[in-house]
Copies of this chain bind each other. A is one copy, B any other.
Amino acid sequence: MSIELRKHIEEITPVSDDEFDYILSHFRKKKLKKHQFLVQENNEVLNDHYVIKGLLKAYYTNDEGKEHILQFAMENWWVTDYQAHFKKEKATINIDCLEDCEILCLSLENREKLCSELQKIEHFFRIKSNFGYVALQRRILSLLDKDAKGRYEQLMELYPTLLQRVPKTILASYLGVSRETLSRLS
């Protein structure tokens, strides 16, 4: 059960059996079917979410109804509306399942509790956040520097499995390209 999470944490810091059990007791398991929402606009965002199984998209919908995907989340990724979650605001994005999902939910309170009780967990989340920051910087550079084709190729290289799991229409709105243009790329 949830060995994935343990392996995930131990990529950054070792934890004993007891520690891990204790950590895990702060999570709540949740199962969602394809098309179900994990986070919905205007709602409170009490939890961060660790993906055990499945695939989700986190996306912003603008006034004209156009969707922009902020991130995908698959196995071993974390996803929530971080702006809303950290600042206790209402969600401005939606997150829904592209596949049936199995999720571990961690409330802000439980995260802070764990972080203050177990420094290694605070350490874990700091390092995680640092890496996340770097990943976003790379995406910004990609958006600034590369054209549609370049961004697509970079995405395929980084996450080749995504192609098999996500329709191109949706990839397009991650890349910031129209689906027609993506379809026309050599």
The reply to whether A130 and B176 contact each other, CB–CB distance below 8 Å, is no
Given A60-B145, A137-B83: A130 touches B129 (CB 8 Å cut-off): yes
State how many angstroms separate the Cβ of A181 from the closest Cβ of chain B: 14
Contact B140 A70 (CB under 8 A): yes
State in angstroms the CA–CA spacing of A151 and B80 once bound together: 25
From B86, B122, B126, B140, A143 is in contact (CB under 8 Å) with: B140
Whether A6 sits at the interface, judged by CB under 8 Å, is no
User: Would B145 and A68 count as touching, CB distance under 8 A?
Assistant: yes
* A139 CB–B CB distance under 8 Å: yes
Q: Name the residue on B nearest A177 (C-beta).
A: B144
Q: Which residue of B lies closest to A124 (CB)?
A: B126
Interface of A is mostly: helix
Interface string of A65-85 (1 = CB under 8 A from B): 010101100000000001100
Q: Cβ of A133: which chain B residues have Cβ within 8 Å of it?
A: 82, 129, 132-133, 136
B134–A83 contact, CB under 8 A? yes
Task: Answer yes or no: A138 CB below 8 A from chain B CBs.
Answer: yes
- In this complex, which of A83, A140, A143 has the most chain B Cβ atoms within 10 angstroms of its Cβ? A140
Contact assessment for A141 and B86 in the assembled complex, using a CB-CB cutoff below 8 Å: no
Interfacial chain B residues near A119, Cβ < 8 Å:
116, 119, 122
Please name all residues of chain B whose beta carbon is closer than 8 Å to the beta carbon of A116 when the two chains form the complex: 119, 123
